[in-house]
Amino acid sequence: MKGNVIGFDPDTNTGLIGGEDGRRYDFVTAEWSGPGTPAPGDTAEFAPAGERATQIRPLDHAYVPPNFAQFYFSPRGRASRAQYWLRYFLPFFVIAVVLRVAGLIHGESADEGGPILGVLFLFYLVALWPSIAVLVKRMHDRDKSGWLVLLLYVPFFIGIALASVALYDVAVRDIHDANQVATPAAIVFGGTAIVGVWFFIEFGCMRGTVGGNRYGADPLGPHRRHDVRPD
């Protein structure tokens, strides 16, 4: 029989499934054969035994590939490593390099900007939210909360702010004041770099959870339940 998990208590390792017959069945995690723990809304097949559900097997929902807007602007759902690197990072990298090289050919530099480098700066601003949204989906694929993204972006922007104040002090005030701000900026950037290494390994190199998780269906399909090959 098919049904949906209505609730689950991790303290007692017990839960409740609503069957397609309209009845409710108690269950224990020992009867749950899927990865992870049951979550409300999970669809499963089970064998009813009186008022209890036994031999529970979770069913994966079919993965629906996101459209352009959903992939780049929505943090909901999951994204595989291949989607992250090929659909997000590669286009971002190519566009940034092309604009940078075009600016250099045009004779533009950091000291003497121009229209092309202005477009590059605007591109970075426009790509900020998509970079966050896609990274959050990659976190979801690892069954991690998307709020972890704050560990990377908050100190990064704090470091940018401190570095900007230090540069202002160098230009307008004196080097002593600049050093007082530059030191904490360097510390913040150092911490951000350490977090960045962890993010690269965890969310850039490691495959997502096998099968559906609390954030959605497996981007690689249900075959991964029995397939240990990397995505």
Neighbours of 70 (CB within 10 A): 14
Q: What is the residue-wise DSSP string for 65-102?
A: ---HHHHHH---S---HHIIIIIIIHHHHHHHHHHHHH
Percent of the chain with pLDDT over 90: 54
Region 63-68 average pLDDT: 88
Residue 88: pLDDT over 90: yes
Name which of 26-35, 91-100, 196-205 the model is least confident about: 26-35
- In this prediction, residue 173 has a pLDDT band, given cuts at 50, 70 and 90, of low
Q: Which CATH class is domain 2-58?
A: mainly beta
Domain ranges for the chain, please list them: 2-58, 81-141, 146-209
Per-position b or e across 22-56, b if 16+ CB within 10 A of its CB: eeebebeeebbebeeebeeebebebebeeeebeeb
CA–CA distance from 36 to each of 15, 57, 61 (Å)?
Answer: 14, 12, 16
CA distance 168 to 165: 5
Q: What is the mean pLDDT of the chain?
A: 86
**More confident of the two residues 35 and 125:** 125
- In this prediction, residue 38 has a pLDDT band, given cuts at 50, 70 and 90, of confident
Region 27-44 average pLDDT: 82
pTM equals 0.69
Give the count of alpha carbons within 13 A of 63, CB side only.
22
- In this prediction, residue 179 has a pLDDT band, given cuts at 50, 70 and 90, of low
Name which of 31-40, 130-139, 166-175, 193-202 the model is least confident about: 166-175
Name which of 10-19, 55-64, 133-142, 191-200 the model is least confident about: 55-64
Q: Tell me, what's the pLDDT at 71?
A: 96
Residue 224: pLDDT over 90: no
